[in-house]
């Protein structure tokens, strides 16, 4: 088993990565949870994995309640959050209770946000079951919900007590969702590690075939890079913004097309290619890097061509992005493969040029 630590002083926590961590949950969470947990999940995820997790915790004498939420990005909203908070009140959950998010990014984000605001903060644990959640949303403490006008615009930074990544969960993950998760894996190589990017190019076939050793390495490297960045900049005042490579374009795609039409990783994939084109224009990034990025995403079956939107629609949605400061658009660009930076010198003319390609 691989174990990493997100180093945040008294709020540091482990990330355990292995096949079978669900069955070992009580052992891995010993001392991190109390005598009662509420597991929050979707029906489809619960059907596959709830019993495994529940049996492990129950064997250790933990009292367990379960809340099942509706599935999908369109339900990551106020209504679902309110329903979850209502259930916590009905169950008389107190501050000694730990919430356990069993599912993908939607479950992790909304459960974490509920934990952050219920009784002004109760413990929670991330048990991500999708590749995207395992390598990205479960690590770093970003929690929240969507608004019709913007993705993840309502939320809080709130760190989990632990992250349990069971690679066995990927066996039942639909092919499209697996592909979407690989987009975030590719992102880590693009912004931080040219050698990891090259490894992904060489091992794309093994990863797509769900080779266990390859998946564990890719997940571990992605989590290692994210944990390192989060430890240096927990609340995104500087370096952590680099993790948003492709996301300004990607969020605009998700919101404009309707939540759930494009999966998050799909939108980020197309967004990264647009950001690379912008980097060609503004930071002299070699075209070869853009071609390699697009080719690797295609190898993982991630779409690289954005939907056709009028420039004013792109601009409108991107101006609502969380990275926009004082009405200045900010983008994550690449100086070189493995080296990213924050840029605030992007004009509408620059965007018009690359969106017309």
Residues involved in catalysis: 120, 142, 184, 226, 236, 240, 244, 247, 251, 264
What is the C-alpha to C-alpha distance for residues 197 and 208, in angstroms, rounded to an integer? 15
What is the C-alpha to C-alpha distance for residues 66 and 101, in angstroms, rounded to an integer? 10
3-state secondary structure labels for all residues of 238-274 = CHHHHHHCCHHHHHHHHHHHCECCECHHHHHHHHHHH
Beta bridge partners of 157: 142
CA angle 106, 114, 5 (to 5 degrees): 75
Using CA atoms, how far residue 58 sits from 34, 146, 161, 262, in Å, is 12, 34, 19, 38
DSSP string, 210-246: T-HHHHHHHHHHHHHHHHHHHHH-TTSSSGGGGGGTT
Chain CA centroid to CA 14, Å: 17
Tokens encoding 126:
């991330």
Are 265 and 302 a contacting pair, CB within 8 Å?
yes
Using CA atoms, how far residue 239 sits from 79, 137, 234, 236, 340, in Å, is 33, 17, 9, 7, 10
Q: What is the dihedral of CA 33, 37, 41, 45, to 10 degrees?
A: 70
């Amino acid at each position: 088993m691989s174990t990493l630590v997100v180093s945040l002083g008294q709020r540091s926590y482990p990330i355990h990565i292995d096949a079978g961590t669900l069955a070992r949950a009580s052992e891995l969470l010993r001392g991190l949870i109390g005598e009662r947990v509420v597991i929050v999940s979707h029906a489809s995820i619960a059907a596959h994995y709830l019993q495994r997790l529940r049996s492990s915790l129950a064997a250790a004498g933990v009292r367990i309640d379960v809340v099942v939420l509706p599935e999908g990005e369109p339900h990551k909203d106020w209504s679902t959050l309110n329903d979850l908070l209502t259930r916590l009140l009905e169950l008389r959950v107190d501050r000694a209770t730990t919430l356990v998010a069993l599912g993908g990014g939607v479950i992790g984000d909304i459960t974490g946000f509920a934990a952050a605001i219920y009784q002004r903060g109760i413990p929670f644990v991330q048990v991500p079951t999708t590749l995207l959640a395992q390598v990205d949303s479960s690590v770093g403490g970003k929690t929240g919900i969507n608004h019709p006008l913007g993705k993840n615009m309502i939320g809080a930074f709130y760190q989990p007590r632990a992250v349990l990544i069971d690679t066995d969960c990927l066996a039942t993950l639909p092919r499209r969702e697996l592909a979407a998760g690989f987009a975030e894996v590719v992102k880590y190589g693009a912004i931080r590690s040219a050698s990891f990017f090259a490894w992904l190019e060489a091992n794309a076939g093994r990863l797509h075939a769900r080779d266990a050793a390859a998946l564990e390495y890719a997940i571990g490297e992605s989590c290692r890079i994210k944990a390192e960045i989060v430890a240096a900049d927990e609340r995104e005042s500087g370096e952590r913004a680099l993790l948003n490579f492709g996301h300004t374009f990607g969020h605009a795609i998700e919101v404009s097309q309707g939540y759930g039409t494009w999966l998050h990783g799909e939108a980020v994939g197309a967004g990264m290619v647009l950001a690379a084109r912008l980097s060609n224009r503004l930071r002299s990034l070699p075209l070869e890097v853009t071609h390699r990025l697009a080719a690797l995403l295609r190898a993982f079956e991630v779409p690289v061509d954005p939907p056709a939107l009028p420039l004013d629609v792109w601009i409108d949605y991107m101006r609502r992005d969380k990275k926009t400061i004082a009405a200045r658009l900010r983008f994550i660009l690449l100086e070189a493969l493995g080296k990213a930076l924050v840029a605030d010198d992007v004009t509408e003319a620059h965007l018009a040029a690359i969106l017309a390609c």
